């Protein structure tokens, strides 16, 4: 399922990251994510009244410190307008309206997207500062006063946010496999897209992407329908983006959010970079399908074990994504590029599969018998019951006596047993725990 995206824009120090952390804090307590994955401070998924959405703190993009505030903010606004479904523009109620606010407000007003104006640091709603009225000048409607620090009026704001997302279908379309090809510049992404779409068997008719002005390309291959998500900059290169390297990650994030399967493309001569790890971590956390494509394999001098050794090196760099298949391709020579599509179709099928409750509980019982669950101060972890409650990614719920006793290593053990029994190649699996005393 792809989620609507909320982008937060605002000057430094208005309280964006405080707000961001408060909002995502609640979710962390509910769903325990696999530790060991780099958490990206600028991106998180959350939920309000059963409505899930992704949130991006555009202020968290690392800007060089000598950039004037105004140009930093313009960059934020451009990113937000390009990829968000809804924009939250945050201003500082203590400081009042500033010139930078006015400029950015003007940029945001010109976007076709809905903007929610939020005045932060209203810590005492009974003593509303007079400056709040100045914010009407921005022409962005009625400002919503909040206090991120004291969590005041946050619920009303969240109501406003979830009802503000445009009405469109964010649900997974089972029949159509959405692929995002992500990777550093020059690894061969556009070459791959061209190779896949120029063939006769490929029906190319670009359709306008839902709300983000992007162009997605649908096509069929061997009886499966695919859509290549336009990872902005592939097809319609924007001058603004090209000059701003720091946006490449955030641009990728938006594409990952919309995809079923993330194809992480690596230049064989260059290997995995920090940025690739970050991308893989985000795809993992977002519960997307993942495959790693080592391109330009034609350039690598090969001996007997070259491929095996290379694969080992990649695995060591991406331990948390050990489930992701690794493919070696040469787009230039047209080698193994269709294996990417075949693999993607297989991964999609695995992600949509459901394991019956009976089989699942037999497996868990066996696993518990083989290895005793952890205990603490005489109390031992008990697993009463498990069930698969979701697909894409496969989501398993466990009724247990104590969350504290479900140590990471034991969860990992259970996951491994699950993976041994039912090959979950190419997808993360998620666990949630219900405590029943
Ligand atoms: P960012 O640069 O926009 O991400 O701002 P931060 O979240 O880092 O906050 C900047 C400063 O404002 C910090 O010292 C926060 O503690 C403070 N701050 C954030 N929210 C509030 C609020 O609601 N009320 C008050 N009084 N201070 C806040
Ligand atoms: P993008 O920036 O990731 O979209 O990369 P491009 O598709 O523009 O490719 C960058 C360069 O790498 C171009 O000169 C391609 O011809 C070249 N290239 C792409 N795939 C391969 C490959 O498999 N082998 C070799 N040797 N070169 C490739």
User: Based on the domain organization, do 160 and 304 belong to the same domain?
Assistant: no
Sign of dihedral through CA atoms 158, 161, 165, 167?
positive
Return the pLDDT at 112.
Answer: 77
Q: 283 C-alpha to center of ligand 2: Å?
A: 23
Q: Is 230 annotated as a binding residue?
A: yes
User: Based on the domain organization, do 419 and 324 belong to the same domain?
Assistant: no
Looking at all shown ligands, the one closest to residue 233's CA atom is 2
Beta-strand relationship, 224-228 and 261-267: unpaired
Residue 310 has pLDDT above 70, yes or no: yes
Provide the CA 407 distance to its chain's centre, in angstroms.
25
- Burial degree of 228 (CB within 10 A; 0-12, 13-18, 19+): buried
Residue 73's pLDDT band (cuts 50, 70, 90): confident
The answer to whether position 394 is within a domain reads: yes
Return the pLDDT at 233.
Answer: 42
Q: Is 231 annotated as a binding residue?
A: yes
Q: 187 C-alpha to center of ligand 2: Å?
A: 6
DSSP bridge partners of 43: 56
With a CB cutoff of 8 Å and minimum separation 6, the contacts of 226 are 176, 177, 178, 179, 218, 219, 220, 341, 344
Q: Is 271 in the pocket of ligand 2 (CB under 6 A)?
A: no
Residue that finishes a domain, picked among 141, 164, 187: 164
Q: Which two tokens stand for residue 367?
A: 């696993």
User: Residues 274, 282: contact at Cβ < 8 Å?
Assistant: no
Q: Work out the end-to-end distance of the chain between its first and last CA atoms, rounded to an integer number of angstroms.
A: 33
Residue 245's pLDDT band (cuts 50, 70, 90): low
User: Based on the domain organization, do 24 and 140 belong to the same domain?
Assistant: yes
Beta-strand relationship, 261-267 and 176-183: parallel
The answer to whether position 171 is within a domain reads: no
The answer to whether position 169 is within a domain reads: no
Q: 289 C-alpha to center of ligand 2: Å?
A: 24
As for how many domains the chain has, the answer is: 3
Closest CA to 220 of 247, 200, 245: 200
Q: How far apart are CA 429 and CA 360, in angstroms?
A: 14
Residue 171's pLDDT band (cuts 50, 70, 90): low
DSSP state of 404: T
Residue 323 has pLDDT above 70, yes or no: yes
Average pLDDT over every residue of 25-40: 41
User: Residues 347, 289: contact at Cβ < 8 Å?
Assistant: yes
Residue 49 has pLDDT above 70, yes or no: yes
Q: Is 298 annotated as a binding residue?
A: yes
The answer to whether position 254 is within a domain reads: yes
Average pLDDT over every residue of 267-284: 90
Average pLDDT over every residue of 344-361: 95
Q: Is 295 in the pocket of ligand 2 (CB under 6 A)?
A: yes
- Burial degree of 34 (CB within 10 A; 0-12, 13-18, 19+): middle
Task: Name which residue sits closest to atom 17 of ligand 1, judged by CA.
Answer: 15
Q: 230 C-alpha to center of ligand 2: Å?
A: 17
User: Based on the domain organization, do 325 and 377 belong to the same domain?
Assistant: no
User: Residues 400, 32: contact at Cβ < 8 Å?
Assistant: no
User: Based on the domain organization, do 181 and 321 belong to the same domain?
Assistant: yes
Return the pLDDT at 199.
Answer: 54
User: In a 3-state reduction of DSSP, which class is residue 93?
Assistant: coil
The answer to whether position 406 is within a domain reads: yes
Higher pLDDT, 290 or 83: 290
Among all chains, which residue has been given the structure tokens 């896949």?
Answer: 196
Return the pLDDT at 315.
Answer: 95
Looking at all shown ligands, the one closest to residue 61's CA atom is 1
Give this complex's ipTM: 0.71
373-414 tens-digit pLDDT: 999 999 999 999 999 999 999 999 999 999 999 998 999 999
106-149 tens-digit pLDDT: 988 887 789 999 999 999 988 888 888 999 999 999 999 999 99
% residues pLDDT > 90 (the chain): 51
Q: How far apart are CA 126 and CA 142, in angstroms?
A: 18
Average pLDDT over every residue of 42-61: 80
Average pLDDT over every residue of 246-255: 71
The answer to whether position 97 is within a domain reads: yes
Least confident interval from 193-207, 224-238, 243-257, 409-423: 193-207
Of the ranges 1-10, 127-136, 205-214, 384-393, the best mean pLDDT one: 384-393
Residue 208's pLDDT band (cuts 50, 70, 90): very low
What CATH number has the domain bearing residue 405? 3.30.300.20
User: Based on the domain organization, do 338 and 382 belong to the same domain?
Assistant: no
Return the pLDDT at 206.
Answer: 40
Q: 189 C-alpha to center of ligand 2: Å?
A: 7
User: Based on the domain organization, do 248 and 381 belong to the same domain?
Assistant: no
What CATH number has the domain bearing residue 143? 3.40.50.300
Q: How far apart are CA 196 and CA 194, in angstroms?
A: 5
Looking at all shown ligands, the one closest to residue 194's CA atom is 2
Of the ranges 15-19, 110-114, 292-296, the best mean pLDDT one: 292-296
DSSP bridge partners of 228: 179, 217
Q: Chain-wide mean pLDDT for the chain?
A: 83
Residue 434 has pLDDT above 50, yes or no: yes
Closest CA to 209 of 267, 258, 271: 258
Task: Name which residue sits closest to atom 10 of ligand 1, judged by CA.
Answer: 13
User: Based on the domain organization, do 290 and 191 belong to the same domain?
Assistant: yes
Return the pLDDT at 21.
Answer: 83
Q: Is 189 annotated as a binding residue?
A: yes
Among all chains, which residue has been given the structure tokens 């330009």?
Answer: 296
User: Based on the domain organization, do 283 and 384 belong to the same domain?
Assistant: no
Return the pLDDT at 41.
Answer: 58
Return the pLDDT at 244.
Answer: 52
Least confident interval from 140-149, 242-251, 271-280, 356-365: 242-251
With a CB cutoff of 8 Å and minimum separation 6, the contacts of 355 are 388, 394, 422
Ligand 2 atom nearest to 193, measured from its CA: 7
**Residue of 18, 61, 89, 123 with the most ligand 1 atoms within 8 Å of its CB, for mutation:** 18
pTM for the predicted model, two decimal places:
0.71
Q: How far apart are CA 310 and CA 306, in angstroms?
A: 6
User: In a 3-state reduction of DSSP, which class is residue 39?
Assistant: coil
Q: 181 C-alpha to center of ligand 2: Å?
A: 13
Residue 29 has pLDDT above 60, yes or no: no
Task: Please state the φ and ψ torsions of residue 376, each to the nearest 5 degrees.
Answer: -145, 130
User: In a 3-state reduction of DSSP, which class is residue 170?
Assistant: coil
- Which domain covers residue 402, as residue numbers? 357-435
Task: Name which residue sits closest to atom 9 of ligand 2, judged by CA.
Answer: 188
Exposure string (b/e) for 150-176, b if CB count within 10 Å is 16 or more?
eebbbeebbeebbebbeeeebebeeee
Residue 372's pLDDT band (cuts 50, 70, 90): very high
Ligand 1 atom nearest to 57, measured from its CA: 4
Ligand 1 atom nearest to 120, measured from its CA: 23
Average pLDDT over every residue of 330-352: 95
Average pLDDT over every residue of 325-339: 96
Average pLDDT over every residue of 247-257: 75
Residue 243 has pLDDT above 90, yes or no: no
**Residue of 184, 189, 191, 233 with the most ligand 2 atoms within 8 Å of its CB, for mutation:** 191
Residues whose beta carbon lies within 6 Å of some atom of ligand 1 = 10, 12-18, 59, 120-121, 123, 147-149
User: Based on the domain organization, do 182 and 322 belong to the same domain?
Assistant: yes
Closest CA to 1 of 328, 391, 379, 285: 391
Residue 95 has pLDDT above 50, yes or no: yes
Looking at all shown ligands, the one closest to residue 148's CA atom is 1
User: Based on the domain organization, do 11 and 72 belong to the same domain?
Assistant: yes
Of the ranges 78-87, 90-99, 208-217, the best mean pLDDT one: 90-99
User: Based on the domain organization, do 182 and 274 belong to the same domain?
Assistant: yes
Q: How far apart are CA 11 and CA 16, in angstroms?
A: 8
Ligand 1 atom nearest to 12, measured from its CA: 2
């Amino acid at each position: 399922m792809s989620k609507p995206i909320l982008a937060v824009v605002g000057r430094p120090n208005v309280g964006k990251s405080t707000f961001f952390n408060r909002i995502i804090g609640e979710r962390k307590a509910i769903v325990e994510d696999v530790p060991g994955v780099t958490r990206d401070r600028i991106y998180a998924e959350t939920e309000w009244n059963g409505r899930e959405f992704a949130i991006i703190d555009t202020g968290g993009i690392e800007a060089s410190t000598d950039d004037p505030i105004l140009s930093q903010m313009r960059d934020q606004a451009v990113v937000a307008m390009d990829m968000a479904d809804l924009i939250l523009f945050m201003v500082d109620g203590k400081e009042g309206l500033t010139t930078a606010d006015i400029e950015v407000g003007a940029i945001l007003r010109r976007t076709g997207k809905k903007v929610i104006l939020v005045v932060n640091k209203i810590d005492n709603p009974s003593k509303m500062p007079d400056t709040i009225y100045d914010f009407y000048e921005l022409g962005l409607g009625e400002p919503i006063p909040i206090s991120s620090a004291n969590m005041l009026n946050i619920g009303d704001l969240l109501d406003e946010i979830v009802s503000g997302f445009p009405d469109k279908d964010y649900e997974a379309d089972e029949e159509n496999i959405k692929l995002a090809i992500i990777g550093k510049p020059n690894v061969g992404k556009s070459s791959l897209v061209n190779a896949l779409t120029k063939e006769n068997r490929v029906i190319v008719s670009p359709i306008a992407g839902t709300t983000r002005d992007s162009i997605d390309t649908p096509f069929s291959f061997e009886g499966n329908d695919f859509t290549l998500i336009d990872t902005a900059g592939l097809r319609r290169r924007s001058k603004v983006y090209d000059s701003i390297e720091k946006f490449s990650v955030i641009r990728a994030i938006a594409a990952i959010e919309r995809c079923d399967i993330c194809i992480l493309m690596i230049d064989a001569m260059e290997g995995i970079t920090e940025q690739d790890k970050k991308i893989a971590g985000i795809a993992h956390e977002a519960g997307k399908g993942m495959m790693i494509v080592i391109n330009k394999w034609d350039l690598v001098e090969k001996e007997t074990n070259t491929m095996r050794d290379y694969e080992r090196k990649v695995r060591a760099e991406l331990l948390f994504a050990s489930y992701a298949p690794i493919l070696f391709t040469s787009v230039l020579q047209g080698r193994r590029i269709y294996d990417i599509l075949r693999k993607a179709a297989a991964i999609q099928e695995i992600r949509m599969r459901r394991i019956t409750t009976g089989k699942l509980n037999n497996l868990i019982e066996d696993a518990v018998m083989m290895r005793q669950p952890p205990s603490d101060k005489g109390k031992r972890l008990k697993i009463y019951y498990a069930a698969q409650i979701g697909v894409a990614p496969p989501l398993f719920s466990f009724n247990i006596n104590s969350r504290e006793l479900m140590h990471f290593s034991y969860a990992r053990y259970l996951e491994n047993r699950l993976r041994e029994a039912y090959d979950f190649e190419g997808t993360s699996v998620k666990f949630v725990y219900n405590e029943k005393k």
